[in-house]
Amino acid sequence: MSILPAWHNRTGPIAPLLADPDITEIAINGPESVFALRRGARHMEARDVGRIPVNVLEDIARLVAFESRQNVDEKAPLLSASISSELTGHSDYRFQYVQAPAVPHGTVSITIRKPSPFDMDIDYWERSGAFDRINQKLPEEEDLDANLKTAFKDKEWKQFLRLAIAAKKNILITAPTNVGKTSFINTLCRLIGEHERIVTIQDALELQLRQRNVVNLIYSRGNQSVAKVSPSDLMEATLRMTPDRVIMGELRGAEAFTALEMLNTGHGGWMTTMHSNSPSHMWGRLADMVMRAGTTMLRSEIIDYARGLIDIVIQMHRFSDGVRGIREIHLVDR
């Protein structure tokens, strides 16, 4: 029995996006949160397709799971598959799905990536200008880096932080307990552009993103949830969701290994927090947490690896007069 009628029924609200050859990616973050990426565009744009009930979005995932002979439910809330050509009329549509409890209840995350309709031979790449800037420093990168270093040298800290976010530097905020790490990372998140697609990975919803295109992924510390979803599982899902930026909740244990692996994929603009009394102490503590994941890397190798990925370390402090603030900012030497 064909599920094609059910597919057309459930995907009706997004059918124009699926059929549009200029749309390369569709992201659904919940009943009233649909975004699409147009060919040649840098960022996704919100699309008004009306309200799609959560149960309809869940049905779409179940249909894809059925066709790909997989299962998706509360115990297995992640689904990565190719959508059958019987359903779309095309091959190689990639489908990534996350449901509760790996996202907040009442939401889901669906990402559909459509293949290019063009014959992308080597001549196509040359005609498109893909080879024109090989091994060249981009002017906007030069300007941002130069201005960032100038702001650091001149101790223009508010400007420095704005530029660090704009340049998508990878930032680690450290502090002892109850000094304001979470509050400050939320402040930095408010500096992120409204147009960016942001995915968070956390064990508790401490990050408060105000941008529209946001997906909050949740893992259970200590396997306390009905779904045994690890930070590593969520990282793999994130790579199929085309984020502009990935932000992780506080690092407390073996998920630090996943955090560094995420950095190594080339996603800039990463931010997270961790407990530490000083930046110099932080590197060793970070290495200890990474080692809990069972890596065979030596402690010194982990520190070198981390220093090659993290751009800025911000140390917060509670001063003797009770004020909570920033004690140190370090641009990590390469």
Each residue's pLDDT tens digit in the chain (334 positions)? 589 999 999 999 999 999 999 999 999 999 999 999 999 899 999 999 999 999 999 999 999 999 999 999 999 999 999 998 888 887 789 999 999 999 999 999 999 999 877 778 899 899 989 999 899 877 777 788 899 999 999 999 999 999 999 999 999 999 999 999 999 999 999 999 999 999 999 998 999 999 999 999 999 876 666 778 988 899 999 999 999 999 999 999 999 998 999 899 888 999 999 999 988 899 999 999 999 999 999 999 999 999 999 999 999 999 999 999 999 999 998 7
Report the distance separating Cα 71 and Cα 122, nearest Å: 39
Q: In what order do the strands lie in the sheet with 312-318?
A: 214-218, 198-202, 245-248, 271-275, 171-175, 312-318, 324-331
Report the distance separating Cα 271 and Cα 269, nearest Å: 6
In 3D space, the residue among 69, 21, 27, 62 whose CA is nearest the CA of residue 46 turns out to be 27
Domains of the chain: 4-113 (3.30.450.90), 168-331 (3.40.50.300)
What single letter denotes the amino acid at residue 259? A
For the chain, the 3-state helix, strand and coil shares in percent, each to the nearest 5, are 35, 20, 45
Instruction: Provide the H-helix boundaries in 84-210.
Output: 85-88, 122-127, 139-153, 157-166, 181-189
Residue with the two structure tokens 């919803």 = 205
Instruction: Please state the φ and ψ torsions of residue 226, each to the nearest 5 degrees.
Output: -65, -30
pTM (predicted TM-score):
0.92
